[in-house]
Structure 1
Amino acid sequence: MEWYQHFRQEERPFIDQVLEWKEMVSRQYAPKLTDFLDPREQQIVQSLIGSGGDVRVSFFGGASFAERKRGLLYPPYFAPEENDYEIALFAVRYPAKFVSLGHRDVLGALMSLGLRRGKFGDVLVQGSDIQFFAAAEVADYVRLHIEAIGKAPVALEPLPLSAVLPVEERWQEGTVTVSSLRLDALLAQAFRLAREKARALVENGLVKVNWKVVDKPDFLCGPGDVLSARGFGRCKLMAVEGPTKKERWLVRIGWQK
């Protein structure tokens, strides 16, 4: 298929899914709402749908700054509104004076329900305040089944989307040189690790590229790729500036602030 040549091999099943959605909307002339998609998946959907055709696409994750968003594929006659994305917002109420909860704790509790990751959007943490987005179709189930996170008793309070915490993602950029665009080489420079340490993190399944686990140290990264290593944080390959005179690569990397 001609579309495959523009994407990585591991992305082919998702490409097939998107093309099925597109065909369904075109055939039925009715909107199709997706689960929450990570930014890379959103990019793929946008590329495959394009603009100006008989199928359009737009994204919304509950807030303008949301990272994970639901996609809405629709025919030209349709004018999307926020409620068409069917997103619920919850505040996590817990005894903050006695226990500390973070992003990992909340996401772990949500995933323990047995639902797909795609049913949940961003988890927002600002001090002791915690909120998360969920697909409206699972909201009641989630609210009824999350009574504790770790050892902390919690209650989930539904909120209007207008009450979302003002948590925005910011990147601090810098330029480094790397021996190659291999995943282990980039990780080593980005997080100031020994190459062997970076390679071990990858091989042990502790590294994600574009929100998917990658366990091959020689995986070649490209501009726009988001890398995360458990315990070290997240970085983004903003741009590849080109080769240096010493046969290295000059790259611009962003670190989350």
Structure 2
Amino acid sequence: MDSLIQHFRKDEQPFIETTMGWIREVEDNYSPKLTGFLDPRQRFIVESIAGSSMLLVGMDGAFIDAERQRILIYPDYYVPETADYQIAIFNVKYATKFLKLEHKDILGSMMSLGIDRSKFGDIRVGDDEVQFALVGELKDYMTANFISIGKAKVTMEVNNHRESLLVTTETWIEEIYIISSLRLDVVVAALINLSRQKAASLIHGEKVKVNWTVRNQPAFELHESDILSIRGSGRFKVIAIEGRTRKDKIRLLIGKLE
């Protein structure tokens, strides 16, 4: 286990300790443990640690291709069901004739209610409605308190029919990059065809995020399942590190959001 944990970043240690606590809880009680909504990198960490402990994991984010999902850690005897993930799905209705809500509007309103980011999952914005996933225990609270987004009055409806959920229109284009290292400046330079010096300037200028956190150190090392946002250039994800070439370069499989 120690040899596995040392491969994660130092600033991921608090989450790793939390994950270890979940693992111990499942092992001690021999019963499932449900997490909040996790991003792809967090899920990668949980999967890695749970797998080394001979436990199984299931994931559900309600939406097809959900970016944020809850994880169920469970012993091998257990057979998970959809209800185990305890996800409430809401439709948000508003006067689309007068305004158009965006993802950031909904996210900001939820955060203003004091709801932790781990308590809600993906937010999908359609032509005439918004849908989002929430931990089941907050369903009544959300129904009573989520009555407006900015100046827009909204009506909340619980959606119990997954077949009616909005489908993302996001498309990720995959491409292999041959790079010398996993340093952030090296990868950014390769992704957007810049010199390392210019890539480092972007990073120092806090224009690059990794897993939704600004990273301003060019030497920051990327790992599998990381999500990169480069201001003005879009979003990328590290799908896999596919070994090395004969010249000892790294083969990196990257997805770019179109």
TM-score, scaled to structure 1: 0.84
In structure 1, what is the Cα distance between the partners aligned to 2:103 and 2:198? Answer: 25
Shift of 1:51: 7.5
Corresponding residue for 1:111?
Answer: 111
Corresponding residue for 1:66?
Answer: 66
Gap runs ≥5 in structure 1: none
Corresponding residue for 1:170?
Answer: 171
In structure 1, what is the Cα distance between the partners aligned to 2:132 and 2:231? Answer: 21
Corresponding residue for 2:87?
Answer: 87
Is this contact kept in 2: 1:244–1:250, CA < 8 A?
no
Gap runs ≥5 in structure 2: none
Aligned pair count reads 255
Corresponding residue for 2:230?
Answer: 229
In structure 2, what is the Cα distance between the partners aligned to 1:168 and 1:58? Answer: 25
Shift of 1:189: 4.3
> Which amino acid is 1:207 matched to?
V
| Shift in alpha-carbon separation, 1:28–1:252, aligned structure 2, 3 A | closer
Which moves more between the two structures, 225-234 or 38-47?
Answer: 225-234
| Shift in alpha-carbon separation, 1:25–1:178, aligned structure 2, 3 A | closer
TM-score, scaled to structure 2: 0.84
User: Does 1:19 find its partner at 2:7?
Assistant: no
Corresponding residue for 1:46?
Answer: 47
Shift of 1:85: 0.6
In structure 2, what is the Cα distance between the partners aligned to 1:249 and 1:75? Answer: 36
User: Does 1:77 find its partner at 2:66?
Assistant: no
For residue 77 of structure 2, give the secondary structure of its aligned residue in structure 1.
coil
In structure 2, what is the Cα distance between the partners aligned to 1:128 and 1:189? Answer: 39
User: Does 1:253 find its partner at 2:254?
Assistant: yes
| Shift in alpha-carbon separation, 1:218–1:169, aligned structure 2, 3 A | same
Corresponding residue for 2:96?
Answer: 96
| Shift in alpha-carbon separation, 1:203–1:92, aligned structure 2, 3 A | farther
Q: What's the C-alpha RMSD, in Å, of the aligned pairs?
A: 2.9
Which moves more between the two structures, 164-173 or 151-160?
Answer: 164-173
Which moves more between the two structures, 112-121 or 147-156?
Answer: 147-156
In structure 2, what is the Cα distance between the partners aligned to 1:52 and 1:4? Answer: 12
Which moves more between the two structures, 137-146 or 222-231?
Answer: 222-231
> Which amino acid is 1:88 matched to?
A
In structure 1, what is the Cα distance between the partners aligned to 2:105 and 2:159? Answer: 21
- Structure 1 residues 6-31: Cα deviation after superposition (integer angstroms, max 9, x where no partner): 22222222111111111111212222
